[in-house]
């Protein structure tokens, strides 16, 4: 059931709608491990109004709906990642999308299909941010998924002043794919990230905090409460980590505020030059480990991570790949 960080994530929001459909799931404290027991009757089709835009919850309900008789639908307050509803038709299951409501009709049988998986935009965002904040940097990340529900980080970086362009755009299977070119932004500017944008970049908020730290003015991530229930409390961890670099960040309800320095990030490292090391906790969270490693490169500060190995869960060669670019 995953590592310690994944096992601490709240599963109640998945268990609740599945239980309403007839699934029998027991999870002490609402987290993993969970025990899935035989259902006492076939699953029932249902409509679920999700209180949050969550692709995980939506996908769980829709996939369960494939085993239920009738139409199962999910309505969200904002559009979340839509990989599931894009992929299901390729495997022989019709999907109906009506605004923020997605529906499937079961019982349905999936049919095998060859697929090509494009590059992960969440991982590409780390490369994009470091290129945007390091002077004279530019790079191209090839074969990146450009699904509009996943490209919010690129849009925000471009809005802040990074030089971003796209090439070789095409459709592979059900997903738009292309190459992302990013170049240094001489003066990034703070911005407001709206609640509607958060689902398109929620996993990229930690690394976007690096761009926010370099920017002129304040950056606000509105509706960012979901960060508290990721592999760690990323909301608190971003504030804590930035403070170690003397960057002011704070929370106001579900809003994450970062006051940018408006200066090259290496100047932050100059202020920390007398430190033997800058010890930063990762909370065994791969996104935080990658973020603080890149912040160390950008600031030239002597960053030491308490668990550098946790990046292996999503990008085992991360450190070698970054060093190869420097």
Q: What angle do CA 226, 230, 232 make, to 5 degrees?
A: 120
The answer on pLDDT for 136 being more than 90 is: yes
pLDDT tens, 283-316? 999 999 999 999 999 999 999 999 999 999 899 9
Which strand (E) or helix (H) includes residue 183?
strand 175-183
Please name the residue ranges forming H helices in 197-284: 205-214, 234-244, 266-271
Q: For 230-260, b where at least 16 C-beta lie within 10 A, e where not — what string? A: bbbbbbebbbebbebbebebebeebbbbbbb
Residues 72 and 170: their CA atoms lie apart, in Å, by: 32
> Is there a cis peptide before residue 107, judged by omega within 30 degrees of 0?
yes
pLDDT at 183: 97
User: Comparing 310 with 115, which gets the higher pLDDT?
Assistant: 310
Q: For 154-162, what is the mean pLDDT?
A: 98
Q: For 36-60, what is the mean pLDDT?
A: 94
The answer on pLDDT for 26 being more than 60 is: yes
| 249-252 vs 163-172, strand pairing mode | unpaired
Q: Are 158 and 164 within 8 A, CB to CB?
A: yes
pLDDT at 2: 64
pLDDT tens, 75-107? 999 999 999 999 999 999 999 999 999 999 999
Which strand (E) or helix (H) includes residue 288?
helix 286-299
Q: What is the CATH number of domain 4-106?
A: 3.65.10.10
Q: For 239-252, what is the mean pLDDT?
A: 97
Q: What is the pTM of this model?
A: 0.90
Worst-scoring range by mean pLDDT, 7-16, 184-193, 245-254, 288-297?
7-16
What angle separates helix 234-244 from helix 205-214, to the nearest 10 degrees? 30
Domain positions in the chain are 4-106, 121-325
Q: Which residues are catalytic?
A: 203
User: Comparing 18 with 276, which gets the higher pLDDT?
Assistant: 18
Q: For 172-187, what is the mean pLDDT?
A: 94
The answer on pLDDT for 1 being more than 70 is: no
Average pLDDT, the chain: 94
pLDDT at 30: 85
Task: Please identify which residue in the block is written with the tokens 């920017």.
Answer: 215
pLDDT at 3: 67
Q: Which CATH class is domain 121-325?
A: alpha beta
Is it true that 4-106 and 121-325 share their CATH fold? yes
The CA R_g of the chain, rounded to the nearest whole Å, is 21
The answer on pLDDT for 212 being more than 60 is: yes
Q: Predicted confidence band at 5 (pLDDT cuts at 50, 70, 90)?
A: low
Q: What pairs with residue 138 in β-bridges?
A: 183
The answer on pLDDT for 210 being more than 70 is: yes
Q: Which two tokens stand for residue 123?
A: 């991982």
């Amino acid at each position: 059931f995953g590592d310690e960080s994944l096992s601490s994530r709240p599963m109640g929001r998945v268990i609740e709608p599945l239980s309403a459909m007839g699934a029998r799931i027991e999870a002490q404290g609402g987290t993993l491990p969970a025990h899935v027991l035989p259902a006492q009757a076939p699953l029932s089709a249902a409509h679920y109004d999700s209180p949050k835009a969550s692709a995980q919850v939506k996908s769980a309900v829709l996939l369960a709906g494939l085993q239920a008789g009738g139409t199962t639908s999910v309505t969200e307050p904002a559009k979340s990642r839509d990989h599931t509803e894009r992929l299901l038709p390729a495997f022989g299951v019709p999907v109906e999308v009506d605004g923020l409501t997605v529906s499937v009709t079961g019982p349905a049988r999936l049919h095998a299909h060859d697929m090509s998986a494009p590059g992960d935009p969440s991982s590409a965002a780390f490369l994009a941010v470091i290129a945007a904040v390091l002077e004279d940097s530019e790079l191209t990340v090839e074969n990146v998924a450009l699904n509009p529900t996943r490209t919010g980080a690129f849009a925000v970086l471009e809005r802040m002043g990074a030089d971003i362009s796209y090439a070789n755009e095409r459709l592979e299977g059900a997903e738009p794919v292309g190459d992302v070119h990013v170049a240094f932004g001489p003066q990034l500017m703070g911005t407001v990230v709206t609640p509607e944008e958060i689902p398109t970049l929620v996993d990229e908020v930690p690394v976007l905090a690096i761009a926010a730290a370099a920017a002129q003015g304040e950056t606000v991530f509105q509706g960012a409460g979901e960060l508290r229930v990721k592999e760690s409390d990323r909301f608190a961890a971003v504030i804590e980590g930035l403070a170690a670099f003397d960057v002011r960040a704070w929370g106001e309800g579900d809003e994450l505020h970062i006051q940018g320095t408006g200066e090259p990030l290496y100047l932050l490292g100059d202020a920390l030059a007398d430190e033997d090391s800058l010890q930063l906790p990762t909370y065994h969270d791969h996104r935080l480990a990658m973020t603080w490693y890149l912040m160390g490169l950008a600031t030239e500060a002597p960053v030491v991570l308490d668990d550098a190995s946790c990046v292996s869960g999503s990008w085992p060669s991360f450190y070698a790949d970054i060093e190869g670019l420097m």
